[in-house]
Amino acid sequence: MRDKMYSSELLQRAIEALASLPGIGQRTAYRLALHLLNQPPSYTEEIASALLNFRQKIHRCLHCHHISDEEVCAICRDPQRDSGTICVVESIRDVFSIESTGSYRGHYHVLGGVISPINDVGPEDLYIEDLIKRVEGQEVREVILALSATIEGDTTMQYLARLLRPHVERVSFISRGVAFGGELEYADEWTIAQAIRFRRPIEDFALTPRAEDEE
């Protein structure tokens, strides 16, 4: 039925490709394709080459796994930044969120997710080993755990805290300015800035009293 609608297989394929993107439906894809058609071919070539370049040449930073144009990302290369502090986050989007607050001058470590056995994600599926190697190999005073305030985020923070404590002077987690059940990505900048500023040592972890605290 669609073949009849467009009477061009080339147009059809362009629409299907565009419509496979999140947030773009058939109608929008159709409009975008016609728009490209109305512009000179160089316009489409520029878009296509920008996307191809982006996708093929973008790296994951060797140290922190943030996206980077080179082997090591701009944040890890910046001599002005404090390499003695590492902020651990779930995804690159969280790096952007924290960076946009301008309130943090240390390094990052992108885990690539949180531990969730229901979704078949275990510690071995995340960049946890790399993180441990980093804190063993370089002088790190503090690791800040900045994961989402969810069951899965909390579990991952607890797990990491145990692994990190022998190697790092101070392991902290971001303050709970972020509502429970809230993803870091969706929180406003002020909330994130407050949460970074008022981080607390992991011993105070609000949700998780330990056996010795009770006695």
Partner 1 sequence: MRIKDLHIRFYKNLKDIRWPLAEGIHYITGPNGIGKTNLLDSLYFLATGKSYFTPKSLYDVIHYDSDFMRIQWQSYFEAQWVPFVIKLTRGQSLSIERYGKPFERRVDYVGMHPVVLIAPDDIYNFKHSASERRRWIDAALSMMDVEYLTKLRQHNRLLRQRNALLRRAEHASEEVYRLLDAYDMQLWPLVRYLYQQRQRYLHALIPHIQSYYRRISSQAERVEVHYQSEVAVDDYLLNMSQRREEDLRFQRTSYGIHRDDIYCTIDSRPMKGHASQGQWKSFILAFKMAQYRYMAHSVGHLPLLLIDDIFAKLDRNRVHALFEILLSDSFGQVFITDTDKERMRELLKDFGASNLEGYDMTMGALTPVAL
In whole angstroms, how close is the CB of 158 to partner 1 at the nearest point?
Answer: 4
In whole angstroms, how close is the CB of 151 to partner 1 at the nearest point?
Answer: 5
Quote the CA–CA distance of 62 and 60 in Å, as a whole number: 6
Q: What is the DSSP string of 85-140?
A: EEEEESSHHHHHHHHTTT---EEEEE-SS--BGGGTB-GGGTTHHHHHHHHHHS--
In whole angstroms, how close is the CB of 48 to partner 1 at the nearest point?
Answer: 34
Q: Smaller CB distance to partner 1: residue 106 or 153?
A: 153
Which parts of this chain interact with partner 1 (CB under 8 A)?
A: 115-118, 120, 122-124, 151-152, 154-156, 158-159, 162-163, 180, 207-211
CA 199 vs CA 110, 157, 182: distances in Å: 19, 13, 17
Q: Answer for the pair 111, 64: CB distance below 8 angstroms, yes or no.
A: no
Count other C-beta atoms under 10 Å from residue 136's C-beta.
11
Q: Smaller CB distance to partner 1: residue 11 or 163?
A: 163
In whole angstroms, how close is the CB of 213 to partner 1 at the nearest point?
Answer: 11
Quote the CA–CA distance of 207 and 119 in Å, as a whole number: 23
Q: Smaller CB distance to partner 1: residue 116 or 175?
A: 116
Facing residues of 184 across strands? none
Q: Smaller CB distance to partner 1: residue 11 or 151?
A: 151
> Which two tokens mark 134?
């980093």
**Cβ neighbours of residue 40 under 8 Å, at least 6 residues apart?**
none
In whole angstroms, how close is the CB of 34 to partner 1 at the nearest point?
Answer: 29
Q: Smaller CB distance to partner 1: residue 94 or 152?
A: 152
